[in-house]
Amino acid sequence: MNDDTYPPETLELIYNEVEDRLNTQFQSMDGLNTKASVIIGFVGVIIGISLQLYSQSNSYLFCSCMILFMISIFFSFSAYKIKSYRRDPEPRKLAEKYLREDDKEVKKQLIDNFIESFEENKNKIEEKGKYINYSLILLFVGLIVLILSVIVG
């Protein structure tokens, strides 16, 4: 099938699906940001409670769990920090460049731009997810060490 003979219904279907995937991707980013902020808050509360439980007899375990909590916060902040994500098209450039073009050509170009944006953002989202996973693991291990320090103390 020639590039110019795409049925309009197919173009519309592909456009809608790709746009939906890109919107889902941005919702996923928002969800990961929310998780990172919840982890930061939770670790802050745990640190506050831990300071109330501190005793000299188990300072090694206590310091170990504090270090784990701090590293967990570091990973959460790394996941939460602002990153530039690609979201095409920019409205002004779209209007200036494609206002007088055929709607099929514009839709094909938008589909290409959406796909490029999706692929570029995918790596950033995966990195954000890794940082959150590391943070959760360290938080869990820190809680175990904190419980051990309370039991030993």
Read off the pLDDT of residues 41-59 as tens digits, 9 standing for 90 and up.
Answer: 999 999 888 888 776 766 7
Does 22 score more than 90 pLDDT?
no
Residue 43 lies in a domain: yes
Residue 16 lies in a domain: no
**Of 95, 54, 79, 53, which Cα lies nearest the Cα of 138?**
79
The parent domain of residue 121 ranges over 29-152
Residue 9 lies in a domain: no
Residue 51 lies in a domain: yes
Mean pLDDT (whole number) for 128-144:
93
Residue 67 lies in a domain: yes
Residue 145 lies in a domain: yes
Residue 2 lies in a domain: no
Read off the pLDDT of residues 70-118 as tens digits, 9 standing for 90 and up.
Answer: 999 999 998 887 677 777 777 677 777 777 777 788 888 888 888 888 8
pLDDT, residue 3, reads 55
Residue 138 lies in a domain: yes
Domain total of the chain: 1
